[in-house]
Amino acid sequence: MKLQNKVAFVTGAGQGMGQAIVRRFVAEGAKVVAVDLDQAALAAGLADLGDAVLALACNVADAASVADAMGEVEAHFGGLDILVNNAGVGGLDAFLETSDDSWARVIGVNLGGTFLCCREGARLMVKRKRKGVLINLSSTAALTGDGPAHYCTSKAAVMGLTRSIARELAPHGIRVNTLVPGPTNTPMMAGIPEDYMQALLKNVPLGRMCETDEIARVAVFLASEDASFITGQNIAVNGGMAFI
Ligand SMILES: NC(=O)c1ccc[n+]([C@@H]2O[C@H](COP(=O)([O-])OP(=O)(O)OC[C@H]3O[C@@H](n4cnc5c(N)ncnc54)[C@H](O)[C@@H]3O)[C@@H](O)[C@H]2O)c1
């Protein structure tokens, strides 16, 4: 068990990669605070994991909501060891049609939410003197530009955020890395038109979509002592689609 007695906070845990990460973390011995927008749906989807999981409603784009959730973590578990910033939103907006609201929403969740959770999570780690780990989800789209502008921008910016705070938090013993998936079999991708999906997969040398557990296993690696000297890096899981 690679995460025995660790306390983890996973955002966007209601489905897709987030849920797979929660399941792997619990299998590796962690207690997990799982957060998503809809608490009832979240709790129902993770009910089989019992009291290894605390399911909380939290909007990562809202500073007060994130601060409240981190307060619950401290109250329940006394500290935090691992934060996974997985919550994300996309969209299919063509650049010339992108509204101000759509831009603000995608940047606000993907970048703003990652910033807020990193700040609050790292504050708690430092306060409780825990040598923690932050894992931020980006996307291969940030490298290839093959995606809407708001999404590619937010996911490229997450890489910059990771690098800066990896340097700044290193003296506290906190590692920070970016996990960079390629196209992965989740509800988010179910909304992508079939012809667009087929075109995307033509660019994946391994010739298929990634499965959520393949992301979750890399998240375990990054969260564990196996990755003890890795910080500030982009870790790609994309079947050879792009090189970092
Ligand atoms: N699926 C892919 O092909 C792919 C590829 C590269 C990167 N990613 C990234 O990986 C992450 C997970 O993707 P997924 O495909 O599992 O997504 P998904 O849409 O299946 O699940 C995302 C979860 O995040 C939650 N969420 C959205 N906004 C939130 C908010 N403001 N606060 C809290 N929770 C919120 C949703 O309710 C949902 O449960 C995202 O950051 C995504 O951008 C996905």
Compute how many other C-beta atoms are within 10 angstroms of the C-beta atom of residue 215. 24
Mutate which of 24, 38, 70, 89 to test ligand 1's pocket (most atoms within 8 Å of Cβ)?
89
Beta carbons of 204 and 241 less than 8 angstroms apart: yes
Residue 240 within a domain: no
Is residue 99 one of the residues assigned to a domain?
Answer: yes
Q: What domain range includes position 107?
A: 7-233
Whether residue 79 is contained in a domain is answered as yes
Q: Is 159:110 a contact under the CB 8 Å cutoff?
A: no
What is the pLDDT, as a whole number, of residue 196?
86
Which residues have a catalytic role annotated?
151
Specify if 238 maps to a domain.
no
Q: CATH number of the domain at 99, please.
A: 3.40.50.720
pLDDT on residue 90: 95
Task: Flag whether 186 is in a domain.
Answer: yes
- Whole-number Å distance, alpha carbon 86 to ligand 1 midpoint, is 6
Question: From the CA of 171, how far away is ligand 1's center (Å)?
Answer: 31
Report pLDDT for 190: 87
Instruction: With respect to residue 46, please indicate whether it lies within any of the assigned structural domains.
Output: yes
Closest of 178, 140, 143, 134 to residue 158, by C-alpha: 178
Task: Tally the domains of the chain.
Answer: 1
Question: Is residue 128 in a domain?
Answer: yes
Residue 210 DSSP symbol: B
pLDDT at 191: 83
Pocket mutation for ligand 1, best pick of 22, 36, 116 (most atoms within 8 Å of C-beta): 36
Does residue 103 fall inside a structural domain? yes
Average pLDDT for runs of 10 along the chain of length 244: 98 98 98 98 97 98 98 98 98 96 98 99 98 98 96 98 98 98 94 88 96 98 98 98 94
Residue 236, helix vs strand vs coil: strand
Ligand 1 pocket check for 17: Cβ under 6 Å = yes
DSSP conformational letter for 37: S
User: For residues 3 and 58, what is the distance between their CA atoms, to the nearest angstrom?
Assistant: 24
